[in-house]
Amino acid sequence: ISKKLEPFQYTVWTEFTPLAIKNKAINLGQGFPGFPCPDFVKESLADATNSNENQYSRPQGVPALVEEIARHYGKKHNRVINPMTEVAVTEGATEGLLSAFLSMVDTGDEVVIIDPSFDLYVPQTILAGGIPKLVSLIPPEAGQTKWGVDFEKLEQAFNEKTRVFVINTPHNPLGKMFSSEELQKIAQILEKWPNVAIISDEVYEHIAFNENKHLSLCDFSNLWERTATFSSAGKIFSVTGWKIGWAVGGPEIMRKISTSHLWTTFCSNTTCQGAVARSLRMADNPYMGFPDYYQWIANQYSRKKEILYEILSNTKKFKIEPMEPEGGFFLLGRVNPNDIDPKYLANGSPDFAFCRWMTENLKICAIPCSAFFSPQSKHLGHNFVRFALCKDYSEYEAVARILN
Ligand code: PMP
Ligand code: GLN
């Protein structure tokens, strides 16, 4: 294996998904939906293939899809988006993020990333030749749930070598949604660094709980032009295997991402792009008694969050303090690993020990949060485990039978 890849041979997914399968455990680990996608989404895919949309496509995205994306996000960001220059369709947000780093980062350039972070920003930065500069969030006090931003530290992380700033809201794994006040302050810092590009990973944009509202950094301080705001059909329509994602933003930053995309996959899966275009169009229609599909899916996640919170609050199988998420696919629990079989603690950090123990002994899989923290702040993740909210009701019922 190349020296570049050598440090990145392990991912938490390649340990815990097989471990869940091997133990026949209920998998509340990896964030893929445990329920089928809507019928209108399935029918869209059948329609796309029957319409012979089966060959390579325009690299930046098939016209029907970029037009739907421009329409949808035009409404959201209250601006006219040019579908041909301000949208870049990618093979999932994953490839889009890689294309973004590859196209904006040269050897020795710095990338400021909020820590903890979804596990691929750091490896992708390094693969692009960049140096990740991680800025820790301030952990909540005992009994609290809010992770705070250390604006002073954030400000200090920027310098002449900084090329890219990365933010993720709703946040994986924390469930944090950056507030208007936080985004405003972050935007003020970015105003001082006009040459820094911004990657805003908003793949969980539609899943906000209670009074929380999803806000996009690109809508603050005229940051649109230099921000690539990512989303993913996988998360929106519960089709993570389709691997269709996109970014919206200014023409120059979109051109960079699409240029890199030419040399990674050239174009994304045409048939799935056609299906997503149709699905985005239909998602605005009333759905299952809700004014549109987005409100239905947000309500589903909200109900599952309540169910899981209740199960974890009432369990006597281990000590856990469930933490109310603001948005996204996940709920964190603060655990006390002293409760578990000590043989698991001999190998690795307490959160890993807890998740291995729970998967093997209780047949429930969750993800250890320290996997998302940088080496210098890993200790902050050691008492947190992450449970997915994107599973089927039957899976939460099964979890309740084990834990309650
Ligand atoms: N960003 C975040 C925060 C995620 O959780 C995921 C889920 N894998 C991705 C990006 C990747 O999205 P996709 O499945 O579209 O590649
Ligand atoms: N985003 C998903 C999660 O956090 C899956 C990640 C992956 O499979 N790469 O669970």
**Residue 299: closest CA among 309, 310, 287:** 287
Contact 207, 329 (CB under 8 A): yes
Separation between Cα atoms, residue 121 and residue 379, nearest integer Å: 19
Rounded to the nearest angstrom, the distance between the alpha carbon of 29 and the centre of ligand 2 is 9
Residues linked to residue 200 through DSSP beta bridges, in sequence order: 167, 229
CA of 120 to the centre of ligand 1 (A): 9
Query: Ligand 1: does its nearest atom lie under 6 Å from the Cβ of 125?
Result: no
| Distances 203 to 52, 97, 115, 206, 245 between C-alpha atoms, Å | 29, 11, 18, 8, 9
Check residue 339 and give its pLDDT. Answer: 76
* 9/305 Cα distance (integer angstroms): 33
In the prediction, which pLDDT does 348 show? Answer: 83
Domain with CATH 3.40.640.10 in the chain: 39-282
**DSSP 8-state symbol, 378:** G
Q: Is the ipTM of this complex over 0.95?
A: yes
Counting as low any pLDDT under 50, the low residues of the chain are: none
Q: Measure 31 CA to ligand 2 centroid, in angstroms.
A: 5
Ligand 2 pocket member 123 (CB < 6 A): no
245 lines ligand 1 (CB under 6 A): yes
The one-letter code for the residue type at 204 is Y
What the block records as the tokens of 70 is 């421009």
Predicted pLDDT of residue 8: 93
Q: DSSP string covering 226-294, please?
A: GEEEEEEHHHHTT-GGG--EEEE--HHHHHHHHHHHHHHTSS--HHHHHHHHHHHHHTTS-BTTBSSHH
Instruction: Give distance in angstroms: CA of 314 to centre of ligand 1.
Output: 31
Q: Ligand 2 centroid to 97 CA: how many Å?
A: 14
Angle, nearest 10°, between helix axes 39-50 and 270-282? 130
**CA–CA separation, 340 and 82 (whole Å):** 55
Q: Which ligand is nearest to the CA of 231?
A: 1
Under CATH, what is the fold of the domain 39-282?
Answer: Aspartate Aminotransferase; domain 2 (3.40.640)
Task: State which ligand 2 atom lies nearest to the alpha carbon of 13.
Answer: 8
Short-list 42, 92, 84, CA closest to 63: 84
Calpha distance 171→328 (Å, rounded): 7
What tens digit of pLDDT does each residue of 193-237 get? 999 999 999 999 999 999 999 999 999 999 999 999 999 999 999
Q: Is 168 in the pocket of ligand 1 (CB under 6 A)?
A: yes
Q: Evaluate: CB of 229 within 6 angstroms of ligand 1.
A: no
Beta partners for residue 114, in sequence order:
135
Ligand 1 close to Cβ of residue 174 (< 6 A): no
Q: Give me the pLDDT at residue 174, please.
A: 98
CA of 248 to the centre of ligand 1 (A): 16
CA-to-CA separations, 124 to 40, 70, 118, 245, 345, in angstroms, rounded: 34, 27, 11, 17, 31
Report pLDDT for 337: 73
* Residue 115, φ and ψ in degrees, nearest 5: -115, 125
Protein residue whose Cα sits closest to atom 3 of ligand 2: 31
All CATH 3.90.1150.10 domain ranges of the chain, comma separated, are 6-37+292-403
CB-ligand 1 contact for 234 (6 Å cutoff): yes
CATH H-level superfamily of 6-37+292-403: Aspartate Aminotransferase, domain 1 (3.90.1150.10)
